[in-house]
Amino acid sequence: MITIEHIKKKLIEKGIKPTYPRVRIYQVLSDNGGHLTADFIFKEIRKDIPTASRTTVYNTLSSFVEVGLVDEILITGTEARYEIKRRNHHHFLCKKCGGIFDIDIKCPLAQGEYSRVRGHLIQEIHGYFKGICKDCLKKAELEREEHEKDDREVSE
Amino acid sequence: MITIEHIKKKLIEKGIKPTYPRVRIYQVLSDNGGHLTADFIFKEIRKDIPTASRTTVYNTLSSFVEVGLVDEILITGTEARYEIKRRNHHHFLCKKCGGIFDIDIKCPLAQGEYSRVRGHLIQEIHGYFKGICKDCLKKAELEREEHEKDDREVSE
DNA sequence: TTTAATTTTGTAATGATTACAATTGAGCAT
DNA sequence: ATGCTCAATTGTAATCATTACAAAATTAAA
Ligand SMILES: [Mn+2]
Ligand SMILES: [Mn+2]
Ligand SMILES: [Zn+2]
Ligand SMILES: [Zn+2]
């Protein structure tokens, strides 16, 4: 639970005027875990600011990303996800339920910031996995067992 | 330069009927290096098949990805890129020129296929960097030198 | 050749994001 | 307080990649 004052300070530090919509957008990002869509944030701040526009959400997120307050994550192919910048980490996208999970693994990729590869200047490092998440695996397992039971009953 | 026959064999192996548009799409992927957009492929096969439709390109790419012949790369946030599947490798996206480069680094990520992380079943591994590519760095450097010269001349 | 199944095509719809002009609001000078 | 200027916000329209879907064409089977 970050305080409004703390948020304001963070924005000012980065040269962003802490208007109410901007502070609220940061607060939504802070209070709802990571990997939020612009649409989720929009609906959330609409509760407080019924006149808020999608454009403001997009503009604000862009400037947050630009100054390095927020990371933009492109995994799903349909919509960008946003989360407050923290130590570099990877992600896992479940192809079944669409869930995105943080994966904290030690990886040479995520070591020194702003290094080089093959002469190219690195500014961002992204790593992610796709597959079936733990929960969906368990669910599938249970369903399989159900089917087996059904089959047994039918063949009786 | 892969032969048509070789392409046909590859498609059949994966259960895909090697129609002419499909073979051509695979050939375009094969002949033009990696990271192609659907639009590029569309325009390319239009040269041979003036009636070809975008839908066919999208459908074909989807089935290629589905059977594991092709990888879909989501880096730019605007359009998917496609390349024939090969040994797992990372990518570098230049924020200046938009170029995408292969980065072959040994990374624990890209080791065993179909492993697990935190109980989640891994089916795909993606890693990429964003920054300024070698060429764009050099170009910027040259421009900087030009400006310095200008400044000197002005102050003379 | 007739028929059925598959593939391709063309066009319309979708949906996230961006462009942009009009409106609002904050801060400052009168 | 009033008006002024600049920045922020809003609302709406445009963009653009991708998908949906039905009609037309092609292929394979009978
Ligand atoms: Mn995260
Ligand atoms: Mn590649
Ligand atoms: Zn899942
Ligand atoms: Zn470049």
Q: What is the pLDDT at residue B55? A: 98
Q: What is the DSSP string of chain B?
A: ---HHHHHHHHHHTT----HHHHHHHHHHHHT-S-EEHHHHHHHHHHH-TT--HHHHHHHHHHHHHHTSEEEE--SSSS-EEEE--S--EEEEETTT--EEEE----GGGSSSS-EETTEEEEEEEEEEEEE-HHHHHHHHHHHHHHHHHHHHHH-
Q: What token pair was written down for A151?
A: 């089959």
B75 and B99 share one domain: no
* DSSP helix/strand/coil, A100: strand
Percent of chain B with pLDDT strictly greater than 90:
78
Please say which residue of A47, A66, A85 terminates a domain.
A85
Percent of chain A with pLDDT strictly greater than 70:
90
Give me the mean pLDDT over the A99-121 stretch: 81
A13-31 tens-digit pLDDT:
999 999 999 999 999 999 9
Q: What is the pLDDT at residue B113? A: 59
CATH number at residue B14: 1.10.10.10
For residue A39, which nucleotide's C1' is closest to its Cα? C16
Q: What is the pLDDT at residue B104? A: 87
Contact in structure between B143 and B108 (CB atoms under 8 Å):
no
Domain count of chain B?
2
**A96 at B interface, C-beta within 8 A:** no
Q: Considering only residues B137 and A106, tell me which one the structure prediction assigns the higher pLDDT.
A: B137
pLDDT band with cut points at 50, 70 and 90 for residue A51: very high
**CB-closest option in B101, B118, B127 to A127:** B127
Q: What is the pLDDT at residue A97? A: 92
B49-76 tens-digit pLDDT:
999 999 999 999 999 999 999 999 999 9
Structural element, H or E, at residue A65: helix A54-67
Average pLDDT, chain A: 91
Residue A60 has pLDDT above 90, yes or no: yes
- Say how far A50 CA is from D7 C1', in Å: 21
Contacts of A130 in chain B (CB under 8 A): 122-124, 126
For residue B39, which nucleotide's C1' is closest to its Cα? D17
Residue B24 has pLDDT above 70, yes or no: yes
Say how far apart CA B49 and CA B117 lie, in whole Å: 45
Q: How far is CA A88 from CA B95, B120, B149, in A?
A: 19, 20, 40
Residue A116: domain span: 87-156
Give the residues across from B63 on adjacent strands.
none
Contact in structure between B107 and B90 (CB atoms under 8 Å):
yes
pTM: 0.90
A113 and A44 share one domain: no
**A140 at B interface, C-beta within 8 A:** no
Please say which residue of B52, B85, B118 terminates a domain.
B85
B20 and B76 share one domain: yes
pLDDT band with cut points at 50, 70 and 90 for residue A153: low
CB contact under 8 A, A120 and B128: no
pLDDT band with cut points at 50, 70 and 90 for residue A143: confident
Say how far apart CA A124 and CA B65 lie, in whole Å: 27
CA of A97 to the centre of ligand 3 (A): 4
Residue B18 burial (10 A CB sphere; 0-12, 13-18, 19+): middle
A112 and A56 share one domain: no
Give me the mean pLDDT over the B144-153 stretch: 68
Q: Please give the protein residue whose CA is closest to the C1' of the nucleotide D20.
A: B55
Residue A71 has pLDDT above 70, yes or no: yes
* DSSP helix/strand/coil, A109: helix
